[in-house]
């Protein structure tokens, strides 16, 4: 089974890296946001710079999970290669695991430019254990967005997935306080923010890299979003299977 | 003869449309079976049921003594779908390795590529291959896992003559080693080149299941039509398989057009607008079923 998971992951990684549009898109947004929103404004405030870097890493992960995954799945479903792979002697797990591992790998690749910009152009500082903790928080915080990506990918045709995932992405990132720090936003946005998943994932990230205590309500909301997205993702997957393969 | 794959009274509907209607078919070990029929006949649906992509609405499908939906059972088969849409970004060798990794005792990469004339392409990206090269690779992949049974859905569509012959050689070599093949085609000559047994499918039903030779004789069927005046005086003509009259025009299907026309002339009935044309295999079988339904004997 491990061998098959590796084979599927390798197969999908090769596709992603040979036509690296998804990887470039996932790396581009956070790098540009970093240069526009973080570098000029954090000045010599090391804590603010570190926090902003963590936010931008999360933006990259969200892009890979929400936009990248949904579009890849929606496109795959339209290709005859997909039913062919289903005739091979493997259940759904290797292909599914391959998708998740590939998305994780792209997430980690996409944050490298952000880390480089942070190191060269800002006062952001971090210890190695906190950086590792931050990468773990990144993976955990991206889970609801991966599930949303799965949901959209199995529900929509590829053009629909491109549109809906991008439309969903920006408001989620902004209301989560990832583009601009929340203290610059109106008070009602700060309150609203607590109920959206990017805020909870952000709290996790900031906690991991700076040690700032996370807001419990935001974490609770994150858990609810994760559970709800999981239910929707499973529903969309089964619906798609039932339509095309029953 | 042991059956490697079998359908028993299988019916498959897509919503209101009936794709297969109570089809029972046994695929014996070592056979090469050609599924022949027009587009929409149900050939691909039948293949999809055998390889586990679809489940029957009713009836049972058995594959290598188990169920096609069991991945372990599918280790014994290889598949070439009608369209493969091979991933363009990958190299030929990478795709072969990916498919091969699913099987316990696969063919070696170089042996597989050699058998299908693809050795020189191993390092090429699929996106840069010609349509014929892609098709050859798609067919080769069916054999990658060293299967006992392969399902090839229109394997040579879009190939030039030379590529077709290379492919036929590959399929024959597999059969000579004891492999079993189920292939679909529109073309009688393709089935004739490879298969001994032909199953003709149309409108979701098996119309004939016989040797290539027997089916070819059935396919030597002609349509004869003319306007007779009056129709009622027309005598019984020999060798008529199907008979309809529309707006005074008599339409006959026959296995021996020459004898029929001679009898028609000798009968002395006035006729005009005589047309004799060969039917396609599909038409012949449709005509045969129409008459079978109209006059069960």
Residue of B nearest to A242 (CA): B54
A93 part of contact set with chain B, CB < 8 Å? no
Between B255 and B74, where is the model more confident?
B74
Q: Do B94 and A87 touch (CB under 8 A)?
A: no
Position B192 pLDDT exceeds 90: no
Among A3, A80, A87, the residue with its CB nearest the CB of B51 is A87
Residue of B nearest to A92 (CA): B71
How many A/B residue pairs have CB atoms within 8 Å?
A: 66
Pick the CATH number of B222-278 from 3.90.930, 3.30.70, 1.10.150, 3.40.1350: 3.30.70
A87 part of contact set with chain B, CB < 8 Å? yes
A188 part of contact set with chain B, CB < 8 Å? no
For residue range B249-291, list pLDDT tens digits in order.
888 888 788 888 998 898 888 888 999 887 665 566 565 555 5
Question: Choosing among B53, B95, B137, B143, which should be mutated to test the A contact, i.e. which has the most A CBs within 10 A?
Answer: B53
Which residues of chain A have a CB within 8 Å of the CB of B19?
Answer: none
Question: Choosing among B83, B102, B127, which should be mutated to test the A contact, i.e. which has the most A CBs within 10 A?
Answer: B102
Percentage with pLDDT > 70 across chain B: 92
Q: What is the CATH number of domain B3-216?
A: 3.40.50.300
Report the complex ipTM.
0.85
Q: Do A14 and B81 touch (CB under 8 A)?
A: no
Position B295 pLDDT exceeds 50: no
Residue pair B51/B74 in contact by the 8 Å Cβ criterion: yes
Residue of B nearest to A78 (CA): B85
Residue B38's pLDDT band (cuts 50, 70, 90)? confident
* Mean pLDDT computed over every residue of chain A: 90
What is B205-259 written as a DSSP string? Answer: EEEEEEEHHHHHHHH--EEEEEEEESGGG--PPTTEEEEEEETTEEEEEES-HHH
Between B85 and B139, where is the model more confident?
B139
Distances A130 to A27, A176, A206 between C-alpha atoms, Å: 22, 22, 10
Chain A, residues 6-25, CB within 8 A of chain B, namely 7-8, 10-11, 14-15, 18-19
Q: Do B85 and A84 touch (CB under 8 A)?
A: yes
Among A84, A89, A246, the residue with its CB nearest the CB of B103 is A89
Residue of A nearest to B103 (CA): A89
Average pLDDT over residues A2-24: 89
Residue pair B146/B102 in contact by the 8 Å Cβ criterion: no
What integer pLDDT is reported at residue A2 of this predicted model? 83
Distance, in Å, from the CA atom of A202 to the CA atom of A176, rounded to the nearest integer, reads: 7
Average pLDDT over residues B199-203: 85
Position A165 pLDDT exceeds 90: yes
For residue range B90-113, list pLDDT tens digits in order.
999 999 999 999 999 998 899 999
Among A4, A14, A81, the residue with its CB nearest the CB of B101 is A4
Position A180 pLDDT exceeds 90: no
Residue ranges, comma separated, of all CATH 3.30.70 domains in chain B are: 222-278
* DSSP bridge partners of B200: B36, B208
* DSSP bridge partners of B202: B205
Among A80, A86, A87, the residue with its CB nearest the CB of B83 is A80
For residue range B148-169, list pLDDT tens digits in order.
999 999 998 878 888 888 888 8
Average pLDDT over residues A75-95: 89
Q: Do B102 and A7 touch (CB under 8 A)?
A: yes
Q: Where are the domains of chain A?
A: 2-245
* Mean pLDDT computed over every residue of chain B: 86
What integer pLDDT is reported at residue B284 of this predicted model? 61
What integer pLDDT is reported at residue B278 of this predicted model? 73
Residue B145's pLDDT band (cuts 50, 70, 90)? very high
Q: Which residues contact A8 (CB under 8 A, 6 or more apart)?
A: A90, A94, A95, A97, A98, B98
Token reading at A89: 């002697």
A232 part of contact set with chain B, CB < 8 Å? no
């Amino acid at each position: 089974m491990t061998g098959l998971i590796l084979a599927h992951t390798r197969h999908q990684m090769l596709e992603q890296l040979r036509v690296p549009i998804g990887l470039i898109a996932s790396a581009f947004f956070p790098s540009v946001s970093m240069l526009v929103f973080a570098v000029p404004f954090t000045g010599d405030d090391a804590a603010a710079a570190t926090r902003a870097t963590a936010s931008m890493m999360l933006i990259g992960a969200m892009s890979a999970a929400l936009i990248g995954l949904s579009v890849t799945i929606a496109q795959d479903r339209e290709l005859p290669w997909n039913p062919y792979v289903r005739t091979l002697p493997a259940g759904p797990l290797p292909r599914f695991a391959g998708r998740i591992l590939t998305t994780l790998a792209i997430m980690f690749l996409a944050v490298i430019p952000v880390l480089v910009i942070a190191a060269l152009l800002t006062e952001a500082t971090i210890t190695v254990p906190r950086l590792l903790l931050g990468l773990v928080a990144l993976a955990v915080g991206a889970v609801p967005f991966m599930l949303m990506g799965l949901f959209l990918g199995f529900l929509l045709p590829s053009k629909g997935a491109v549109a809906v995932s991008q439309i969903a992405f920006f408001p989620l990132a902004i209301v989560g306080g990832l583009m601009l720090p929340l203290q610059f936003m109106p008070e009602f946005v700060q309150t609203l923010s607590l109920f959206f998943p990017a805020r909870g994932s952000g709290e996790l990230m900031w906690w991991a890299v700076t040690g700032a205590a996370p807001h419990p309500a935001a974490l609770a909301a994150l858990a609810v979003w994760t559970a709800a997205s999981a239910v929707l993702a499973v529903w969309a997957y089964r619906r798609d299977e039932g339509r095309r393969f029953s | 003869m042991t059956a490697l794959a079998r359908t028993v009274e299988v019916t498959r509907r897509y919503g209101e449309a009936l794709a297969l209607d109570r089809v029972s078919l046994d695929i014996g070990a070592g056979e090469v079976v050609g599924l022949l029929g027009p587009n929409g006949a149900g050939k691909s649906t039948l293949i999809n049921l055998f390889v586990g992509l679809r489940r029957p609405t009713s009836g049972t499908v058995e594959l290598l003594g188990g169920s096609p939906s069991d991945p372990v059972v599918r280790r014994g088969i290889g598949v070439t779908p009608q369209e493969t849409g091979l991933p363009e970004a990958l190299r030929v060798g990478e795709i072969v390795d990916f498919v091969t990794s699913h099987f316990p005792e696969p063919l070696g990469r170089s042996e597989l590529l050699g058998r299908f004339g693809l050795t020189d392409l191993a390092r090429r990206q699929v996106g840069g291959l010609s349509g014929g090269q892609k098709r050859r690779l798609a067919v080769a992949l069916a054999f990658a896992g060293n299967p006992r049974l392969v399902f090839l859905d229109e394997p040579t569509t879009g190939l030039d003559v030379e590529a077709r012959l290379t492919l036929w050689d590959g399929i024959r070599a597999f059969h000579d080693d004891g492999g079993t093949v189920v292939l679909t085609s529109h073309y009688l000559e393709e089935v004739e080149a490879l298969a001994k047994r032909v199953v003709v499918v149309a409108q979701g039903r098996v119309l004939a299941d016989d040797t290539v030779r027997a089916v070819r004789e059935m396919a030597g069927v002609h349509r004869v039509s003319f306007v007779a005046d009056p129709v009622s005086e027309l005598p019984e003509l020999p060798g008529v398989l199907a008979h309809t009259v529309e707006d005074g025009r008599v339409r006959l299907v026959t296995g021996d057009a020459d004898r029929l026309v001679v009898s028609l002339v000798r009968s002395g009935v006035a006729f005009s607008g005589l047309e004799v044309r060969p039917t396609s295999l599909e038409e012949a079988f449709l005509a045969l079923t129409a008459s079978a339904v109209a006059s069960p004997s």
